[in-house]
Structure 1
């Protein structure tokens, strides 16, 4: 086979393309200050936003939260489902919403082995509905949610920050319908992080 000198010219270009094609996004590293800003921004959106679920915006003074706690930032091992499939999630109004069943995630929290079902939205981001022992006295009885971008995945682990757990809109306004966490996502422990009941 005759050697082509143009191949030498192409080698560094191919190497550069391969290097820059490697994903460089890193998981979001929330800190107490980051979470506080997210909460303040949400208060503003709930008080001023047109799509806010708050009925009495005039008297709204902000949502209630557990203090930021880094112990509730947990790295779960991902067990991806053998086959991605669309599933129906029950809503509070009796209807259903379609999500992608992504698989299971597992970790130890407070000496308990926890397994949760993980869903995925059409845009690729993950959705984790759950309920814990803090409900219904301190947190919404219908459960809380976490939206997890793809950047929270690294080396087959999903970084879950429960400090960002939030109540669905139906917790503030019965005119809204929201997903009901599946029974298997009911935790046998308290998750003292994230959003609390709204007074």
Structure 2
């Protein structure tokens, strides 16, 4: 009987480990595909934020290697009844956002929190009505990454647990051209760690 119990426990452990590994592999694949798609967009003259002279020399964005350590489970806390506010941008433009929720997670052994926001113009758009905006800064800014911070796109979650993948962090269009107006990450979204994942600083050839 004891041998049977041991075998059952061993099998359960094996299948759980296999399931977790498959999940992690799928998430890493998703991050790689996201980065590949971003490169395709930047190479497309109809979609690229690059200026014409830079597009001619574009060979691909520079990314940190995809790292599963930067794919974390976060607790999502909805924050209803938040007042609308004007988010600062790199220009005089002041788009209206609402703080939609908070993300609580652990990274590099530290408990962290980020706010997510909802653009009030996009709420009216049937394609982006559930779009959430996650701008953040970290200790790599101005060194390995763009000085103005980076963004992650989200959709309104269906549960109180979400996957937060910093490998999908991307630069504002302002990192590539001065003709854009880009939201500036609010101070409360400043992470006091180095997020060595996602897009690096754009270097012109």
Gaps (5+ residues) in structure 1?
1-28
Check 1:33–1:81 CA distance in 2 against 1; reply closer, same or farther (3 A cut): closer
Compute the TM-score of the two structures, normalised by the length of structure 1.
Answer: 0.79
Aligned length: 170
RMSD: 1.9
Secondary structure of residue in 1 paired with 2:115:
strand
Q: How far off its partner does 1:154 sit?
A: 4.8
CA, structure 1 residues 143+78, in 2 after alignment: closer, same or farther (shift >3 Å)? Answer: same
Q: 1:159 aligns with which of 156, 160, 163?
A: 163
Q: TM-score, normalised by structure 2?
A: 0.76
Q: Runs in 1 of length 4+ with deviation above 6 angstroms?
A: none
Select the structure of larger CA radius of gyration.
1
Tell which deviates more after alignment, 109-118 or 189-198.
109-118
For residue 43 of structure 1, report the CA deviation from its aligned partner: 1.6
Query: How far apart are the structure 1 equivalents of 2:111 and 2:70?
Result: 14
Q: How big is the shift at 1:83?
A: 1.0
Q: Tell me which residue corresponds to 1:194.
A: 198
Are the aligned partners of 2:80 and 2:100 in contact in 1 as well (CA < 8 Å)?
Answer: no
Structure 2 counterpart of 1:62: 60
Which of the pair is proportionally richer in strand?
1
2:147 is aligned, of 118, 138, 141, to 141
Query: d(CA) in 2 for partners of 1:157 and 1:44?
Result: 31
Q: What is aligned with 1:39?
A: 35
